[in-house]
Amino acid sequence: TIRSADYMVDIGPAAGEHGGEVIAAGTVDEVLRDKNSLTAAYLRGDRAIPIPERRRTGNGRKLVIRGAKANNLKDLDVAFPLGTFTAVSGVSGSGKSSLVTDILSRKVAQYFYKAKEKPGKHDSVDGLDSLDKAIDIDQSPIGRTPRSNPATYTGMFTYMRELFANLPEAKMRGYGPGRFSFNVKGGRCEACQGDGIIQIEMQFLPDVYVPCEVCHGTRYSREVQEVKFRGHSISEVLELTVDEALEVF
């Protein structure tokens, strides 16, 4: 795909605060000659992702789908070895989701958790007794609302709010942990109600979302952001990467 491009822009050199620079730009041939480009190093073959010399052999058991007929599947029998990392590949529309999601995932959920959603058409699935549970990971957001973030999802946000509430400046102002939440009145920016963005209705066009002009996307009131822990306000802490947060805390 990269070699088919008319023009390349390689950004790096690494991720997060260690990135954000244009390392190389030009045609594919021009970028390939750039010694600073990590992407070019892989394209030239100077660097490569190593292939393991030994593969997992598995535990000898299999999960077997028989007579898979959901959507485009043509009465397939498919075996998945257990105790290994298994991938299902194929072009778009070839039946991957029908096989794995519509049949296998729903059948396993029905078997273990009495799920009511019926699996796609198939004859049987053998080997379920070799499993003890199933975990289905999809592309759904980890949180229940658009306000969720890693801190709220892991429960760390509660400790962070308590930490800020115990700072001398917060005690002087009479701020409790609730003052450092962007979900309730008091500490949040009321102009955007703690969203950090403003929705602009465009009538017959899709709505536009712009940063709040009052809090500038921080979601907090100016007074709350004046309380700082080691030079960081609560909104600035929420913007840190995990590595950056480790240095602060």
Which of 25-29, 82-86, 146-150, 222-226 is least confident? 146-150
Q: In the prediction, which pLDDT does 82 show? A: 94
Q: In the prediction, which pLDDT does 56 show? A: 84
Asked if residue 141 is part of any domain, the answer here is no
Asked if residue 156 is part of any domain, the answer here is yes
The structure's pTM equals: 0.60
Asked if residue 164 is part of any domain, the answer here is yes
Q: In the prediction, which pLDDT does 144 show? A: 67
pLDDT band at 22 (very low <50, low <70, confident <90, very high): very high
For residue 149, give every residue at least 6 positions away whose Cβ sits within 8 Å of its Cβ, in sequence order, or none.
143, 157, 238
pLDDT band at 133 (very low <50, low <70, confident <90, very high): confident
Burial zone of 74 (CB within 10 Å; 0-12 exposed, 13-18 middle, 19+ buried): exposed
- Which of 99, 130, 161 represents a domain boundary (last residue)? 130
Domain check: are 215 and 159 in the same one?
A: yes
Asked if residue 53 is part of any domain, the answer here is no
Q: In the prediction, which pLDDT does 147 show? A: 76
Q: Tell whether omega for the bond before 13 is within 30 degrees of 0, i.e. cis.
A: yes
Asked if residue 184 is part of any domain, the answer here is yes
Domain check: are 39 and 66 in the same one?
A: no
Whether residue 154 has pLDDT greater than 90: no
Asked if residue 178 is part of any domain, the answer here is yes
Number of domains into which the chain is organized:
3
Which of 151-155, 212-216, 235-239 is least confident? 151-155
Whether residue 155 has pLDDT greater than 70: yes
- The domain of 98 spans 62-130
Whether residue 143 has pLDDT greater than 70: no
Domain check: are 181 and 104 in the same one?
A: no
What mean pLDDT comes out for the span 216-237?
A: 95
Domain check: are 74 and 26 in the same one?
A: no
Digit-coded pLDDT (tens) for 35-75: 999 999 999 999 999 998 888 888 999 999 999 999 989 99
